[in-house]
Amino acid sequence: MNEKENTRSAILLIEQDDETRPLLVRNLSNAGYQVIVALDEEGAIERTIGGCHRSDIILLNQVNLSIEEFLNMGRRIRQGAGLPSHTPILVIAERYGADLEGKDVQVGESEYVTYPEDAQQLMNLLHRLCSVYSRE
């Protein structure tokens, strides 16, 4: 994907942590993504409902709740915002063992969990997902 294509990809970021949020926004923006930020499920739906902000992927950083609860939140956001059912949902896992570190796991048709070893792994996965799902 060239830089021009990348700038057209929008990521809906749901991040509750005040320290992590600016870092994620900066890294995603520097990678050429448009970043739509929400603090919670309700805010995410408000920001995207009716197509006022188009989102190509829903990115949730897991905090305190289980991965399944975050996936369900992503599904509710996708539905509540009227996004296509193939819009990817990506959960960044909060805590995990060494056996999962560095892995990206597809857990549904367009739902993923990443267990990042570093920031580049997340960027690579986002690049792949935006490339695949933007063609649908």
In tens, the pLDDT along 33-54 reads 999 999 999 999 988 876 667 7
pTM over 0.85: yes
Average pLDDT, the chain: 87
Nearest CA to 87 out of 44, 42, 40, 118 is that of 44
Burial of 11: CB neighbours in 10 Å, binned 0-12, 13-18, 19+: buried
Distance CA 12, CA 108 (A): 19
Within 8 A by CB and 6+ apart from 82, the residues are 48, 49, 50, 51
Provide the residue range defining the domain that includes 92.
Answer: 3-133
CATH number at residue 108: 3.40.50.2300
State the pLDDT at residue 47: 85
Given pLDDT bands bounded at 50, 70 and 90, which one contains residue 25? very high
Give the SS3 label for residue 48: helix
- What's the total number of domains in the chain? 1
Please determine, for residue 92, whether its predicted confidence score (pLDDT) is greater than 90: yes
Cα distance between the two ends of the chain: 16
